[in-house]
Amino acid sequence: MPESPRPDDVTSPLPAAVLFDMDGTLVDTEQLWWQAAAELAEELRHPLTDADAPEVLGQAVEHTAAHLHRVSGTDLPEAELAHRLGESFAGKVAAETVPRPGALALLTALREAGVPTALVSASPRRVVDLVLSTLGRDWFAVTLAAEDTVRTKPAPDPYLAAAERLGLEPAVCLAVEDTPTGVTSAVAAGCAVLAVPSTPVAMPEGDRITLLTSLEQADLALLGKLSAAPVG
């Protein structure tokens, strides 16, 4: 999947809305999540490797807890593992929340242009609120956490819900994601996707999936082009 160049055409239409993932996309918390999972996995005598990444990165707490329960063979209940994971991650987020390069500049440009934005996260509401207390709540017209839909990523539900709350069709919305799990969710909902990986993982490919190495490469003209609904 080739990297998309920055467009020179500043007359491109604005995106109808931009739906941002949180962890690893807007804030540098994906590594904190990996650390929390790795520490628990070490206690369970199952050191994490690259083979575990699809079950950890971009996944909900319950999903990763179920994975650790399965691969470690522990007698501890999945609910206890999920609780410990959530507590550990929340503590790390509270201590260290750093915006990703280009994130605040892009949010500022969207706000100044009057483009609505949503935060669409698979993290628990507690963690989302911790991040928003640092990043700022007024960037987003809508915020969705794991508890806000029956199914979370990679199911399409979170992005469908975000578009519905904004009063828009998903096809005219652009999702910004950093993991294959998130990209899968957004594509299934019908959104165009800008993928900006926070870790070296292979991304799904598709006609409406565009890859950049940093949000610093994104601008309003590019976002408008990418979010244009397909013809026909």
Separation CA 5–CA 88 (nearest Å): 39
CA distances from 188 to 23, 59, 206 (A): 20, 16, 11
Q: Are strands 142-144 and 209-211 parallel, antiparallel or unpaired?
A: unpaired
Q: How many CA atoms lie within 13 A of 106 on its CB side?
A: 27
23 is catalytic: yes
Could you tell me the two tokens for 20?
């941002």
> Cβ atoms within 10 A of the Cβ of 43, count?
14
Which candidate in 23, 52, 148, 157 is catalytic?
Answer: 23
- Of the candidates 21, 52, 148, 178, the residue annotated as catalytic is 21
- Catalytic-residue membership of 21: yes
Exposure on the CB side of residue 84, measured as CA atoms within 13 A: 20
Q: How far apart are CA 232 and CA 31, in angstroms?
A: 41
Spatial distance between the Cα atoms of 68 and 78, rounded to a whole number of angstroms: 8
- How far apart are the C-alpha atoms of 86 and 60, rounded to whole Å? 10
Residue 155 burial by Cβ neighbours in a 10 Å radius (0-12, 13-18, 19+): middle
Q: Which residues are catalytic?
A: 21, 23
